[in-house]
Amino acid sequence: MAAIDGSALYGGWKVISTVVTTEGEGEQVIPSTGYLLFTPEHRISAIVGRPDRKPATNEAEELALARSLMAYTGRFELKEDHYVAKLDISSTMLALDDPQIRYFKIDGDTLTISMPMKPSTVRPGVRDSTVLTAVRER
């Protein structure tokens, strides 16, 4: 089997939108900003947060800041229409032992990443899926 050419995926991507679909609750657009980096060595790094984040002045605000940011890094294996990430570290430290399957599509300078419906990492008893859209950094 020939190696998959991931050159279209490699590089930096600016996150422009996040849409979460929750079973029984529907779709929610979550304001998001951040970056995804894919290297030819098959490392992924991501940091995504809400664009309205402000410095905390108390403990409750610190907790809200932590909940409004997602960051992780790890290695990924490239497949035909998806990649499988094995995370080394993440902002939540949840699901590090679980392979993360991400379907992707590149249309010009737009990257769409879809996460299949699965049990929520942060909301026990809830199933959700996420679609993240990013544009290539030039």
Strand ranges in 63-109 using DSSP code E only, listed in sequence order: 69-78, 82-90, 100-107
CATH number of 11-136: 2.40.128.120
Residue with tokens 């008893």: 125
User: Domain ranges in the chain?
Assistant: 11-136
pLDDT of residue 45: 97
pLDDT of residue 33: 93
What tens-digit pLDDT sequence spans the chain (138 residues)?
345 678 899 999 999 999 999 999 999 999 899 999 999 999 999 999 999 899 999 999 998 888 889 999 999 999 988 999 999 999 988 778 889 999 999 999 999 999 999 888 777 888 999 999 999 998
Rounded to two decimals, the pTM is: 0.87
Q: What CA–CA distance (Å, rounded) separates 119 from 134? A: 24
Closest CA to 6 of 59, 34, 43: 43
Q: What CA–CA distance (Å, rounded) separates 104 from 101? A: 10
Query: What's the N-to-C CA distance of the chain in angstroms?
Result: 32
